[in-house]
Amino acid sequence: MAGRMQEKIVIVTGGSSGLGRAIAELMTAEGARVVIADINQEQGETVAKEIGVEFVRTDVSNPTEVDALVSGTVARHGRLDVMCNNAGFIGMSPLVETTDESYSRMVDVNFGGIFYGTRAAGRVMVGQGSGVIVNTASNGGSSPSEGMAIYSGTKAAVIAMSKAAAIELAPLGVRVNTISPGTMLSDMVPDVPGIVEMLDKLQPIGYAANPSQMATGVLYLASDEANYVTGHDLVVDGAATAGRRAVGS
Ligand SMILES: NC(=O)c1ccc[n+]([C@@H]2O[C@H](COP(=O)([O-])OP(=O)(O)OC[C@H]3O[C@@H](n4cnc5c(N)ncnc54)[C@H](O)[C@@H]3O)[C@@H](O)[C@H]2O)c1
């Protein structure tokens, strides 16, 4: 039986780990030809071999590298159907202690990287008259966390930019949406004893998500089943940001 992404050409940034890897595996299982891009060359090459996809070493904060990722994919495969701009990293610091360097890096990767990928893919997709862009934001973009002012700010910017792009590109046949994960057990979670139990307890649903539980949301947004869904932020967070919990829960 043909998969839901049969013969689609898909790029996933941050594809060496966590959510990016889970998206790449699911898209491949659904019949897509997938290119993963990541700054981590060693892990990227290993994962690409393990799951049977291509790897292109890319720093998404560098627009020249992102343009080359997209143009190289189109040169090899003839088109680009789905662009998952997913690479990002987390950083925590009290606002008044945030350094210029950590602020700039976070903006360059978490917002710049998503913008460069949306722009490069958008140019190709507008030329084709078709395509889907799925950008990874966070539930922190609409419900910011203490100690994560800049991270939350970049994710809010990703959601707003993606909605604006959706309006511009809808008449041209291109859909743009965001996925906003809640807490997900990936390499992003610091390796501290007891942290998984602590994170599980914080979620109304009782546990922190597995990246594969977000990848299914990305697959939906990328698939033809969502052909009227654009400009949407899909929050997948086990009700973590649905509202306030009772005191003591
Ligand atoms: N883990 C969570 O709880 C959580 C929650 C909400 C949103 N997110 C978002 O999900 C996305 C994926 O994160 P994850 O949890 O899978 O983390 P992860 O650390 O497992 O994966 C992130 C990947 O991005 C890559 N990357 C980082 N900087 C890069 C750059 N400049 N260029 C190219 N690749 C780069 C890393 O090498 C890594 O492979 C991120 O955008 C993150 O902000 C994560």
Q: Is residue 220 part of a domain?
A: yes
**Per-residue pLDDT tens for 204-215?**
999 999 999 999
Helix H or strand E encompassing 135: strand 131-136
Q: Is residue 246 part of a domain?
A: no
**pLDDT, position 168:** 98
**Per-residue pLDDT tens for 132-187?**
999 999 999 999 999 999 999 999 999 999 999 999 999 999 999 999 999 999 99
Is the pLDDT at 247 greater than 90, yes or no? no
Domain total for the chain? Answer: 1
For residue 194, give the amino acid letter: G
Average pLDDT, the chain: 97
Domain that holds residue 68: 9-234
| Residue 9: half-sphere exposure toward Cβ, Cα within 13 Å | 19
Q: Is residue 2 part of a domain?
A: no
Catalytic residue among 151, 207, 220, 228: 151
Is the pLDDT at 248 greater than 90, yes or no? no
**Per-residue pLDDT tens for 15-65?**
999 999 999 999 999 999 999 999 999 999 999 999 999 999 999 999 999
Nearest CA to ligand 1 atom 7: 138
Q: Is residue 113 part of a domain?
A: yes
Whether residue 138 has its Cβ less than 6 Å from ligand 1: yes
**Per-residue pLDDT tens for 66-76?**
999 999 999 99
**pLDDT, position 2:** 84
Q: Is residue 213 part of a domain?
A: yes
Is the pLDDT at 126 greater than 90, yes or no? yes
Is the pLDDT at 95 greater than 80, yes or no? yes
Q: Which residues touch 108 (CB under 8 Å, ≥6 apart)?
A: 61
Rounded mean pLDDT, 219-239: 98
Classify residue 208 by its DSSP letter. P
Cα-to-centroid distance, 51 and ligand 1 (Å)? 18
Q: Is residue 4 part of a domain?
A: no
Q: Is residue 33 part of a domain?
A: yes
Pocket test residue of 19, 105, 187, 234 for ligand 1, highest count of atoms within 8 A of CB: 19
Q: Is residue 63 part of a domain?
A: yes
Active site residue 151: yes
| Domain containing residue 78: CATH number | 3.40.50.720
The overall longest dimension of the chain from CA atoms, in Å, is 57
